[in-house]
Structure 1
């Protein structure tokens, strides 16, 4: 089982520890061809810069391959590429963050947690790493540990809107929907229009049985494009939770075959029959399964 983070002071001490990446290079001394015969030393800074550039290019290529494999569903292959990218450029938090999230999707939680510990010891403000580790903890039924991990990060000037998103999910998991909504709104103040934050805010409102507000929130995000499809699924879910089965069915019929529509509507009815805690757990499971971080363009995560 992963080790739960005990308190904020411990986490801050870990965040304070930093590891310098040593990029060593052996320079050969050459005799000058000029008449003085003096020894000259090649520009070491330029040589080191070239090494860094080569590392970045190699890591970028490996990340691209990993992202393509991941998009095709080959998570094991993607994990191998991300691991190689992390070795090629140990100064970047992106490859290990991608590796950690991929291991999470593979169910290799202990390995993922070890990766997140390593990357956060070097990059304590990495929004992607904090987001991924927080999600991992919530998936393992440790929302309190996720909050302990993330609160110091949003209290800092380097706060990242993605961290507010995961904090919101953690508070929703605990049943504190008002605080969850505060977190989503804080994130939206930094990233207005972010679909992940807005969508999770709408589901939090639905969990609080504020269905009209939830419907209005999702509807405000619609653009009339293909990008609306995930939102339409959630809008149908919210209509279903509100008992508006006819409206839910009308939306689903734009997206799914009739057999799937019937199954989804039956599922919504089942959700309505659950007690609040069971219903919350089922909806949070939907949210967590839908989070698939984007490492091709990390600033556009719509988890």
Structure 2
């Protein structure tokens, strides 16, 4: 049951902060250990393209600039070229994985992060990255091991605690998940991702009032995003407050999409708690978003 937004007409509500999206499994047409070898002549006599020295550091810097500017395809090409020049470095593989996640290509991102881990088995960023990618594909059981390894090294990392909480929510360990989010918020007060995930976890257990109290300041604040507002609309809808749900939904959605979502909320409310939790997780997993983080 997709929840439609104004811009794309695809699922946009009930999103976890790291936007756990399920992508289709595709054949991988390239070898991640030889990225860019067919695109860059690394044996060029001057090692240049035009007037720009195409060394490893330059490629990584240009890739970061392209990614920051939203040019993900170019960033991906640059990171892959950097990986062909320094095949033992983990950074280009991690950067490639993060970029692929932003592009919604979680299965390819898993390969990229695992390539980094084959070079440095306990790299914390690669461990977090592959866990995020597994969660994007609704496979929390595979996220557990890298999360556990990362937690051994950085138990007070708020972003890591959020990922562990998401994995706990996926397997219905909501109390444990909420404890992780709360600990993360102790370390990073007001963090919007932790606040959103805690609110959604509380909603999964039927504690709608506390969920609203937690998310309202974030969603209604000057930096509130459509994802936060529409997640709050979902929670109001689950509570049965159609007036508040309609008001929030209308801030980002067309009228027809608002009515569609209200009907979806009503359907969810009629389900048993267990079935409702599964349905919301399915919405989370099936929500398409190009801005993965």
| Aligned positions of 1:166-181 closer than 5 A | 166-181=163-178
TM alignment of 1:206-221, pairs within 5 A? 206-221=203-218
Alignment match of 2:202 (pick from 205, 216, 219):
205
Corresponding position: 1:271 with 2:268:
yes
In structure 1, which of residues 248, 256, 260 is the aligned counterpart of residue 257 of structure 2? 260
1:187 aligns with 2:184: yes
Distance in 2 (CA, whole Å) between partners of 1:282 and 1:81 is: 39
Determine whether 1:234 maps to 2:231: yes
Question: In the alignment, what sits opposite 2:97?
Answer: 100
* Residue 134 of structure 1: aligned partner: 131
Structure 1, unmatched stretches of 5+, are 3-52, 294-302
What secondary structure sits across from 1:221 in the alignment? helix
Matched-pair contact (CA < 8 Å) for 1:218–1:235: yes
Q: Kindly tell me: are residues 93 and 279 of structure 1, through their superposed partners in 2, closer, same or farther at Cα, counting changes over 3 Å?
A: farther
Distance between the aligned counterparts of 1:195 and 1:130, measured in 2? 22
Contact 2:134 2:140 in 1 (8 A): yes
Q: C-alpha separation between the residues in 1 aligned to 2:80 and 2:235? A: 40
C-alpha root-mean-square deviation of aligned residues, in Å? 3.2
Q: How many residues align?
A: 240
Greater percentage in helix? 1
TM-score w.r.t. structure 2 length?
0.69
TM superposition shift of 1:291 = 8.6
Structure with larger RCO (C-alpha < 8 A, sep 6+):
2
1:227 is paired with a residue whose SS is coil
Alignment of 1:26-65 (within 5 A): 55-65=56-66
CA distance in 1, matches of 2:79, 2:262: 40
List, as ranges, runs of 4+ consecutive aligned residues in structure 1 with deviation greater than 6 Å: none
Contact 1:125–1:159 (CA under 8 A) maintained in structure 2: no
1:232, distance to aligned residue in structure 2 (A): 1.3
Residue of 274, 277, 281 corresponding to 1:280: 277
CA distance in 2, matches of 1:106, 1:223: 28
Greater Rg by CA: 1
Structure 1 length normalisation: TM-score?
0.67
**Distance change in 2, residues 1:194/1:89 (3 Å):** farther
Q: How much does 1:106 deviate? A: 4.6
CA distance in 2, matches of 1:151, 1:87: 30
8 Å contact 1:56–1:89 — kept in the other structure?
Answer: no
Encode CA deviations 1:233-281: one digit per residue, 9 max, x unaligned.
1110100111111210111122222111111111111222334344334
Q: Which whole-Å CA distance do the structure 1 matches of 2:135 and 2:253 have between them?
A: 30
SS for the counterpart of 1:224 is coil
Distance, in Å, in 2 between the alignment partners of 1:203 and 1:169 is 10
Cα offset, 1:149, TM superposition: 2.1
| C-alpha distance in 1 between matches for 2:290 and 2:128 | 10
